Structure 1
Amino acid sequence: MKNFSTELTYKTSRSSGAGGQNVNKVETSVTVIWNVSESRFFSDEEKELISKKLKNRINTDGILQLSVSESRTQYQNKKIANQRILEIVNTSLIRPKSRKATKPSKAQIAKRIENKKKLSEKKESRRFRPDR
């Protein structure tokens, strides 16, 4: 898990929603901003992987933004935003294991065909056949 928090910048604004007069006068909402393309913390390959996986969250300038206004305090929102952006980027760096194609064993194929025959015979025996 990489910690690139030195490259993050923060912008504050007034939160919306409940909170009374506190909402109207205190800037508690925090937006964390990170420029993916200019990061010195990650290699070019890692940056490409991050950009690919987070393409819906990264804007055309290569900037990843995340806003948090859950808490009533700016400090708490900053902590939450920092944690979230670290989680998002670290999970985007995880490469999925490549799938190895396998085929069923002869015993499995035989068992499946045998079960199909049994089911077919069971259904066949249920058919109503009036005497001719």
Structure 2
Amino acid sequence: MPDLVVTSRFVVPEAELSERFSRSSGPGGQGVNTTDSRVELSYDVARAPSVPEHLRERLLSRLAPRLADGVLTIAASEHRNQLANRRAARERLAQLLREASAPPPPKRRPTRPTRGSQERRLAGKKQRGEIKRGRAGRFD
């Protein structure tokens, strides 16, 4: 299979990925007992030479809950054949790396509520209080 393109500047070579195959659960009838269609795709984020240095720390911190000793593992078993599961695992890995390597969003600039929004809020609170005050003596 070809190299995994994450972004235009971040490509994971085929040699840095490792795959394991096993029997899958789910639909497939008798074939599911004999076919190794489940795919586990592993990528060593911590030690891979293809990861740009400026991205490595970001990837490691954002993917920390999913990493085991710096290795990211994706399992795919939703399809009935191995090739489709290999493609699904690669697409999922690329998507995860794409999201984790995205730059952080810009900082929020704090703003103050406008006078009009404050007045509307207080008017709503007054109206709600009037409704509740009207209920006070109804069930004596």
TM-score range, shorter chain: 0.7 to 0.9
1:48 is aligned to 2:53: no
Match for residue 58 of structure 1? 67
Match for residue 72 of structure 1? 80
**TM-superposed deviation, 1:14:** 2.0
Q: Could you say which structure has the higher strand fraction?
A: 2
Give the fraction of aligned pairs with identical amino acids, expressed as a percent: 29
Match for residue 100 of structure 2? 92
Residue ranges of structure 1 left out of the alignment (5+ in a row): none
Moved over 6 A (4+): none
> 1 CA distance for matches of 2:136 and 2:65?
56
> 1 CA distance for matches of 2:123 and 2:26?
63
Spell out, residue by residue over 1:51-76, the C-alpha distance to the aligned partner (whole angstroms, 9 max, x if none): 111111100x2100111111121111
Query: CA distance change for structure 1 residues 80 and 125 in 2, over 3 Å: closer, same or farther?
Result: closer
TM-score of the pair, normalised by structure 1: 0.79
* Greater mean deviation of Cα atoms: 107-116 or 49-58: 107-116
Amino acid at match of 2:64: K
**TM-superposed deviation, 1:127:** 5.3
1:21 is aligned to 2:30: yes
Q: How many equivalent residue pairs? A: 128
Residue ranges of structure 2 left out of the alignment (5+ in a row): 1-5
| CA radius of gyration, larger in | 1
